[in-house]
Amino acid sequence: MLSPSIRVKTVALAAAAAAAAGLATAVNTADADAFVADRAQMVARITGPGSINDTVGRYNVVGTDLGILWDNGHNEVLAAFGDTQSFNGWSLLRGNLFALRSNMLLRSKDRNLADGLHFTGHSGPPGYAKRVVKASRRDVTIVPTGGVSVNGKQYMGMQAVNLWGDPGRWQTRYGAIAVSGNNGRTFKRIVARRPNYKGNRKFQQVAFMKDGGFVYVYGTPSGRFGAVYLARVPEGKIENLGAYEYFAGGHWVKGPSLATPIMSAPTGEISVAYNKYIGRYVSLATRDGATMRTAPRPEGPWTRGHNIVPATDPIGGYAPFIHPWSLTGPTMYFTYSIWHGYQVYFMKVNLRRP
């Protein structure tokens, strides 16, 4: 009989070999995703001066990025944003034009998305969208990565960034989930913390999708150059890191170190949802601009992908996040950040059924 250590190594090697075959299948499934009718189009700018939301006057948001969208379970969509610039008298006294807060959250009940995403509220006092998760002295910033509502609570994936490097490269100290029991007004508890070490490195940035009683967790390492890995957990156990299992070469196993890629590198910020109109799971991710992939199941096989927003038009675009209320018709909407000007835009892509 094999010793426990040899058995573990054997399982890991078998999983890796099967994963390599599975990944090759996924990559070769389609050269370009057949369900995308055309390139995505810009609908409106939704943050910053002159945007359709007047975020400067209403929330003191001058510049920001991301705009991660999820349904809060109460006829409202929450939108989590990253590092946010605002006007602040103290910053001017220190010689800085803007004050910078790590993150903030806006709300929307807008269902008429054809003219853009309109915000109807925020977390914070009147006129100011506050920071909802504070960074420690060891971190440069806390950046949201995904969001999901489970059993009346709001769960926001987050990464603790402690070093910005070259474009698309940064270092995290850990990834985790922030919990809100008051509909996103405050996120005071941090659970499922993953230090940036060994297998947990694969899940420093996470996107969530609920399906069949599970929360599926799509993870990437910090930055935009890693592959995508998959975990799942029963909805009621999302706070218990020990209850998670990981997809490895066609099987669900325990331990993130065994997780094998389900989508190839390089892949950055990602969102995943089931699109009822085409009857497939859809992912949007940062890859040469914005790339769309589809799959018949949450774990895949995922198509190689189809570029719906080129990296050069607009230049500096990243982080496409699917709007959860646009998954039943021929038009799917998503947020998209543009570095030049540091603002978030609302975009659409037309789909066709297979």
DSSP string of 163-182, one letter each residue: EE-STT-EEEEEEEEEEESS
In the block, tokens 């609920």 appear at 210
The dihedrals phi and psi of 56, each to the nearest 5 degrees, come to -70, -50
Residue 66 contacts residue 269 (beta carbons within 8 Å): yes
Output the pLDDT for position 147: 98
pLDDT tens digit at each of 354 positions of the chain:
333 333 333 333 344 344 333 433 333 444 446 667 689 999 999 999 999 999 999 999 999 999 999 999 999 999 999 999 998 755 555 555 678 899 999 999 999 999 999 999 999 999 999 999 999 999 999 999 999 999 999 999 999 999 999 999 999 999 999 999 999 999 999 999 999 999 999 999 999 999 999 999 999 999 999 999 999 999 999 999 999 999 999 999 999 999 999 999 999 999 999 999 999 999 999 999 999 999 999 999 999 999 999 999 999 999 999 999 999 999 999 999 999 999 999 999 999 887
Which residue reads 């390089």 in tokens? Answer: 266
Here the contacts of 88-95 (C-beta below 8 Å, separation 24 or greater) are none
For residue 116, give the CATH number of its domain.
2.115.10.20
The answer to whether the pTM exceeds 0.85 is: yes
Asked whether 52 and 116 are in contact (CB, 8 A), the reply is yes
Q: How would DSSP label each residue in 74-124? A: SS-EEEEE-SEEE--HHHHHTT-S-EEES-EEEEE----GGG-----EESS
pLDDT of amino acid 98: 72
pLDDT value of position 100: 87
DSSP character at residue 203: G
Evaluate whether 220 touches 205 at the Cβ level (below 8 Å).
yes
For residue 184, what are the domain limits? 4-350
Helix (H) or strand (E) holding 228: strand 226-234
Tally of structural domains, the chain: 1
Q: In the prediction, which pLDDT does 22 show?
A: 40
Structure confidence at residue 75 (pLDDT): 97
Torsion of CA 154, 158, 160, 165, to 10 degrees: -160
